[in-house]
Structure 1
Amino acid sequence: MHPQFRPGRRGLRIVVWSLVAALVVVAGLFGVLLWQHSYDMDEQRVSIRHGGHTLNGVLVTPKDGRRRHGLVVYVHGDGPVDATHDEGYKPMWEANAEAGYASLSWDKPGVAGAPGNWLDQSMDDRADEAAAAIAWVRARPDIDGDRIGLWGVSQAGWVLPKVAAKTPVSFVIAVSPAINWLRQGRYNLLAELRADHASTARTHAAIAKSDTTRGLLERHATFEAYVKAMGGDADGMTADRWGFISKNYTADATRELHALRGVPVLLTLAGQDVNVDTADTERTYREALDTGGAMTVKRYPDASHSLLKQSIERSDLKITLTALLSPRSLFADGFLDDQRQFLREL
């Protein structure tokens, strides 16, 4: 080999130390990932029988050495949600555990291999499911049956009071809860149009389409009739989704909220919510509950509907990186602390 092509010792040292530095960085990043995704709680998969089916669940308990714990039962929002909400619930479960509370959640029917189809469910079906889960967990020796409460987000606003009417609950954490299906739908439509700076013509067309859909629902129209009315363009609507909407479009929690009177309620509201009219939600909760201090309201001005920081939620890249490197930082400042404190003060 010609001398000028022989790697010198200095060159070898540079290559070796570059490799060492790269390995250190990779090992450090791997360590950060492990640490960020290690939660101070015990998790176990559980099976709950309900209505001839099995609910595939996760029960999380604190590592505090106590024999029995209170429990937070999770009621999902809309969509095909699994028991952990793609790991998104875990920071909340950890906060619950730090307050001395266990957490229980389960896959929606048809999600993550669970039997059934969540789109076949009414809000009453979902409440029956949650009540069955509470009955199952009350029989466990490691759960204090007198300290079982509910956590629910968005669509769960129609489920939480139904559950409380079926079985005693000792508290409720309502996160961006919906009140009236049709009002919420119209609010969401207009909010998204405003956010998109939609033209007047586009806004009028969207409202007309929404009005047509309402009329079809009131006439109990079939999915085929819906597609025909939309000019043959289903625009993402499926037969299952149309059936789900047809079952639930009359949902309204206004009267049913009375089931929560006297129950400590933490009402959590996002300042940048385009899904739920938080002013209407707060007003309705105050009028229905009026419990002399039993309700606590927490507002997060910079939070989106899901109580994530809006600055993060706007970017898929930011959501992915934050979920990977610092999942607890996804949520609005104070959100986890407030839930932890609420549970401690019960």
Structure 2
Amino acid sequence: MHPDTEPRRRLLRTAAWALVTILVVATGLVGVVLWQHSYEMHEQRVSIRHGGHTLNGVLATPKDGHDRHGLVVHVHGDGPIDATHDDGYKPLWEANAKAGYASLSWDKPGVDGAPGDWLDQSMDDRADETAAAIAWARTRPDIDGDRIGLWGASQAGWVLPKVAARTPVSFVIAVSPAVNWLRQGRYNLLAEARAEGASPARVQARIARSDAIRRLLEHHATFDEYAEAMHGDTDGMTAGRWNFISKNYTADATRDLRSLRGVPVLLILAGHDVHVDTTDTERTYRGTLGGGGALTVERYPDATHSLLRRSIGQSDVKATLTALFLPRSLFAAGFLDDQRRFLNGLGRGAGATS
């Protein structure tokens, strides 16, 4: 036997076992991912006609054997969001399903091939769109039309009460909702400056720029006029985004919130929200909706604006890994359970059948 043969064989055996180990671990990780992303609900793509266009949606229904379910209609926050919010809604939909509720969501116009452009929408346009989706849902035999409510985050705070003024809703879950566009913008500017440790001079420069932009909006300036006033420094602003802001910068939910009086409302607020002044939001909701037990407020001290755990929200790597391997653990402790309990507390209603 050649003297180099045995070491070579040992090396090959070691390499083979290493490869087997890697394959076993990889298979196990794939299995974990598949298991973690297997949710207790049925999902189906649906199409909803509205205003001559089609809303491309997803309807998720419980696997509980009942013929009819209540429905949670999801209203997105800001940005180009698809029906599942890149699968981020699925843990929420599963919590809804455990309470016996289906969930409905759709791609924003212009997202994933959907017709239209969400940057062309006003908050009233978004409310009309949502009311059309509710009307569609009420025609379905598997949806209990008397148990349809709304879930909305952030910018949806301006949409939810407008929807309730257009069509009856049986509940609202408002997650980090804004009240006044301009106040929110100023709060966000100052909160981010504090988080960055910006100098007083830099803070004042940001305020001056913000005030200049407000004056341009008040004078209905075009995007080109905005760019000229900013000396070409558009800070990432596009013509489409300027159009969207111009349509909506006067948004204020205070008056519209009156349409939610008497409707069970779960107001969800984060402890580390640099986008929305949660104190202002809670004060407005309590002042407008009053007592009577219809308003429930839940605060999550360790949550960010998106209701992610703060430690996760501060790290893109941690957020990606958690979304991959433990998607239900992305959110603040108790967030999913509290929504499920809120829905459970509403009851199945007289119209529900099994």
- Equivalent-residue separation in structure 2 for 1:85 and 1:227 (angstroms): 32
**How many Å apart are 1:16 and its aligned residue?**
3.3
- Greater alpha carbon shift after TM alignment, 32-41 vs 19-28: 19-28
Identity of aligned residues (%): 77
Contact kept? 1:262, 1:291, Cα under 8 Å: no
1:39 partnered with 2:39: yes
SS in structure 1 opposite 2:86?
Answer: coil
**How many Å apart are 1:26 and its aligned residue?**
1.0
In the alignment, which residue of structure 2 is the partner of 1:253?
253
**How many Å apart are 1:291 and its aligned residue?**
3.7
SS in structure 1 opposite 2:304?
Answer: coil
- Equivalent-residue separation in structure 2 for 1:55 and 1:121 (angstroms): 14
- Greater alpha carbon shift after TM alignment, 287-296 vs 109-118: 287-296
> How many residue pairs were aligned?
346
**How many Å apart are 1:59 and its aligned residue?**
0.3
Report Cα offsets for 1:124-147 as digits up to 9, x if no partner. 000000000000010000000000
Report Cα offsets for 1:258-291 as digits up to 9, x if no partner. 1000000000000000000000000000000014
1:154 partnered with 2:145: no
SS in structure 2 opposite 1:165?
Answer: helix
* 1:47-66 matched pairs, under 5 angstroms: 47-66=47-66
- Equivalent-residue separation in structure 1 for 2:16 and 2:208 (angstroms): 68
In the alignment, which residue of structure 2 is the partner of 1:330?
330
Where structure 1 has 5 or more consecutive residues not aligned to the other structure, the ranges are: none
In the alignment, which residue of structure 1 is the partner of 2:226?
226
- Equivalent-residue separation in structure 2 for 1:317 and 1:130 (angstroms): 34
TM-score, normalization by structure 1: 0.98
In the alignment, which residue of structure 2 is the partner of 1:74?
74
- Greater alpha carbon shift after TM alignment, 291-300 vs 15-24: 15-24
Report Cα offsets for 1:127-173 as digits up to 9, x if no partner. 00000000001000000000000000000000000000000000000
SS in structure 1 opposite 2:302?
Answer: coil
In the alignment, which residue of structure 1 is the partner of 2:352?
none
1:214 partnered with 2:214: yes
**How many Å apart are 1:11 and its aligned residue?**
4.6
Which amino acid in 2 is paired with 1:131? A
In the alignment, which residue of structure 1 is the partner of 2:345?
345
Where structure 2 has 5 or more consecutive residues not aligned to the other structure, the ranges are: 347-354
* 1:188-203 matched pairs, under 5 angstroms: 188-203=188-203
In the alignment, which residue of structure 2 is the partner of 1:308?
308
- Equivalent-residue separation in structure 2 for 1:211 and 1:176 (angstroms): 25
CA root-mean-square deviation: 1.1
SS in structure 2 opposite 1:66?
Answer: coil
* 1:1-346 matched pairs, under 5 angstroms: 2-7=2-7, 10-346=10-346
- Equivalent-residue separation in structure 2 for 1:224 and 1:142 (angstroms): 50
TM-score, normalization by structure 2: 0.96
- Equivalent-residue separation in structure 2 for 1:107 and 1:2 (angstroms): 68
Report Cα offsets for 1:59-98 as digits up to 9, x if no partner. 0000001000000000000000000000000000000000
SS in structure 2 opposite 1:49?
Answer: strand
- Equivalent-residue separation in structure 2 for 1:73 and 1:18 (angstroms): 50
- Equivalent-residue separation in structure 1 for 2:285 and 2:165 (angstroms): 16
